[in-house]
Amino acid sequence: MAADCIKTIPSPMPHHDQKDDQKPLIFDASVLSYQSNIPDQFIWPENEKPCVNVPDLPVPLVDLGGFLSGDPVAAMEASRIVGEACQKHGFFLVISHGVDAELIADAHRYMDKFFELPLGEKQKAQRKLGQHWGYSSSFTGRFSSKLPWKETLSFRYSVEKNSVGIVQDYFINTMGDKFKQYGRVYQDYCDAMSKLSLGIMELLAMSLGVGRTHFREVFEENDSIMRLNYYPPCQKPEWTLGTGPHCDPTSLTILHQDQVGGLQVFVDNEWRSIAPNFQAFVVNIGDTFMALSNGRHKSCLHRAVVNSQIPRKSLAFFLCPKEDKVVTPPTELVDTLNPRIYPDFTWPMLLEFTQKHYRADMNTLQAFTNWVQQRKLCADI
């Protein structure tokens, strides 16, 4: 009964309807980047195509220097700026973040090297259907329309004691011993991102008026995702998108852009661009943290556009809670005037929902809430 009930939940996840006698679409950037026309699967509907001359968004700049050095006044000011940004659109920049500049440069250098590899070499790490990690040339295995003009490499990061060196092991086991240095660089980079994200969690807690260490403790044993993004040139950039409009389902995203613009955020009913700043990380709230804050802090719709001349690359660290950690807001954020908005859940539940039932967009969290509630209702029948 419950299984039948769950199947009735409406979902915008398109089915991949590749016919048996058709070859699967392969996104080979070395070929497609130079074609004057692009496959229909990459052409987006008129109402979702990118805009021309998008104005810049004045993103709040948060200097973490004083906070990281233990200055309480600087910490309060940083938390104030973060809080104001998260109540409006959930995006802010951090500088003086303590992450080694050489490590950031190495992470970009090895990203360049990976995406410059021949397609067959990259496909050694091919992401298989149903898996969350690996190399993906667009999402040709998952979707059959509105495909993103990009390649990605995603891998797991965990701070659990039995996961020491998990990133390095991934590269060696997947790509071979000659990729050992890749693993070392991205292991160190993920360690730095995890440390930075825990500091940001303290600022988020302060901005919400809860115990300073509350969210830090939630994520100290994080089980997160690291992703390398490559957006090759497209001769019809006005027809497609590098990444479609969505809110991140994760908790916190820490993004480092190269010098090529392309990140856009939907604010006040219009698309705005976030200009590249190599000295800063772009930070944004995801749906999981929106639920943790009981809706006080917002996840925001954003997308990536492409251009016809220069490839764009970015490094994205997605902070996620440990798989058995229950996502529930602190008691300070729930009262008679502010009742619970979202049900308790675990990150694997939301991840499953976005992988199997729903293509992430601006309504993911509400759709997930409805799905959880209907699943519980069906289980009680």
Closest CA to 146 of 308, 253, 38: 38
CA distance 256 to 324: 29
The helix-helix angle for 72-88 and 180-208 (nearest 10°) equals 90
220, with CB counted inside 10 A (0-12, 13-18, 19+), is middle
CA proximity to 318, closest of 367, 267, 247: 247
Structure-token pair, residue 360: 């992430």
- Contacts of residue 330, Cβ cutoff 8 Å, sequence gap at least 6: 210, 211, 214
Q: Residue 228: what residue type?
A: L
**Are residues 320 and 227 in contact, defined by beta-carbon separation less than 8 angstroms?**
no
Q: Which of 127, 272, 312, 375 is catalytic?
A: 312
312 is catalytic: yes
H helix or E strand, kind and range, residue 63: strand 61-63
Q: Which residue has the tokens 């659109």?
A: 89
Rounded CA-CA distance 34/18 in Å is 25
Can you tell me whether residue 246 is helix, strand or coil? strand
Question: Count of H helices and E strands in the chain?
Answer: 12, 14
- Going by DSSP bridges, is the β-strand pair 61-63/91-95 parallel, antiparallel, or unpaired? parallel
Other beta carbons within 10 Å of 78: 26
Contact 114, 227 (CB under 8 A): no
Q: How far apart are CA 198 and CA 216, in angstroms?
A: 5
Cα distance between residue 204 and residue 210, in whole Å: 9
The catalytic site residues sit at 312
